[in-house]
Amino acid sequence: MDPIRLAIIGAGIFAHDAHLPSLLNLQGTFQIAAVYSRTAASAQALATAVAELASTKSAEKATTADVAVYTDLASLLHTPEIDAVDVVLPIPVMTPVVAQALESGKHVFSEKPIAPDVATAQQLMTHLQQPGQQWMVGENWRYESAYVQAAQLVRDGAIGEVKTCHVAFHLPMAEGSKYFGTTWRRSDEFFGGMLMDGGVHHAALLRMVIGEVASVTAQMANTSAHFAMPETLSATLAFANGVLGSYFVSYGWGSPWGGELHVTGTSGALRVQRGKIELVQQGETRQIPCAKFDGVEQEFAGFAAAIQQGVPHRNTAEAALQDVAVVEAMIRSAQTGKQQ
């Protein structure tokens, strides 16, 4: 089977650090045939990174000549040699590019969140896809081994009927870090800032393991001087299946325990962390083996299977919309003081 000829649209941090190595780990499945950025310098830098990293993963030496460089989006989208595009752009500018990509008929992988808010996401989803055209909205947490296994344990009844859950993440964004340098993540340039950007991961995790969220009540605060908007949020969630849960996240302050999900049921409990699950049954605790944290690579493998074999993938636009809806509801509850 011929590799999928893919173009990366966007040359930022996540394109370099996560998408590029994951795609090159799938050489033979994907061929990075082109890159796009608004500036020639950043596009060329990404093309160089593709060639350099590809050479470390293959006996054949790659060169930048193997990767076409574009600064004109329309030209790229009209190139018949490209089968699929990977849109990795800042949230405030991503939506119109995804719309153009969908209209071009190419297969589209676009990073999360699907859009800055529910209304924009719903409008984006009106762009009709052609028969067989695949659209995956990036959400690597739906492909992370520990989270997938936790969801399966719950479905299998390993802890009985689920009654409560609690998830907490302390994810401080230090001044001077590369992500702190991307000002759109810590400003009100788009709805919710980091609370939305990172929150969709947490919404995806909760929806995957526990179920759909029926209502939320939340508060948020600006606890860190280097953020221009609230970066800490605490919420109570009522799930459609009757489970009551709580959610906490802070991008201003850290904790030695990082982040974890606790789930309690009528006959046991789960403690879930990145790459680690503890299952408690009848008072005894055992560790559940988990694969490494490699959801980005796994979701790209799922994208390829959808394109080449028609295998349904987990990261649908509908699922991504619901992730945004949960986070938006929490932020609006905090803003209004009302249940959403």
User: pTM, whole model, 2 decimals?
Assistant: 0.94
Note the pLDDT of residue 257.
77
CA dihedral 137, 138, 141, 143 (to 10 degrees): 90
Domain 4-139+296-315 CATH assignment equals 3.40.50.720: yes
All residues at 6 or more sequence positions from 242 whose CB lies less than 8 Å from its CB, including other chains: none
Please name the residue that has the structure tokens 């020639």.
40
> Which two structure tokens, joined as six digits, stand for 269?
């409990």
Note the pLDDT of residue 291.
86
Decide if 64 contacts 47 (C-beta within 8 A): yes
The CA–CA distances, whole Å, from 282 to 23, 153, 155, 289 equal 43, 15, 18, 20
Decide if 263 contacts 167 (C-beta within 8 A): no
Cis peptide before 312 (omega within 30 of 0): no
Residue 217's φ and ψ, nearest 5 degrees, are: -135, 130
Fold exhibited by the domain 142-292+323-336: Dihydrodipicolinate Reductase; domain 2 (3.30.360)
**Within 13 Å and on the Cβ side, how many CA atoms surround 12?**
19
Query: β-pairing, 244-250 with 232-239?
Result: antiparallel
Query: β-pairing, 107-110 with 135-137?
Result: parallel
All residues at 6 or more sequence positions from 2 whose CB lies less than 8 Å from its CB, including other chains: none
Give domain limits for the chain. 4-139+296-315, 142-292+323-336
**Within 13 Å and on the Cβ side, how many CA atoms surround 339?**
7
Angle at 112 between CA 110 and CA 117, to 5 degrees: 110
Residue-by-residue DSSP string for 166-223: EEEEE----TTSTTTT-GGGGSTTSTTTHHHHHHHHHHHHHHHHT--EEEEEEEEE--
Total Cβ atoms within 10 A of residue 28: 9
**Alpha carbon distance, N-terminus to C-terminus of the chain:** 48
Instruction: Kindly give the confidence (pLDDT) of every residue in the chain, 340 residues in length, as a single tens digit, with 9 standing for 90 and above.
Output: 899 999 999 999 999 999 999 999 999 999 999 999 999 999 999 999 999 898 887 645 555 558 999 999 999 999 999 999 999 999 989 999 999 999 999 999 999 999 999 999 999 999 977 889 999 999 999 999 999 999 999 999 999 999 999 999 998 887 777 776 676 666 677 788 899 999 999 999 999 999 999 999 999 999 988 888 899 999 999 999 999 999 999 998 888 777 999 999 999 999 999 889 999 999 999 999 998 888 999 999 999 999 999 999 999 999 999 999 999 999 999 999 999 9
Note the pLDDT of residue 184.
67
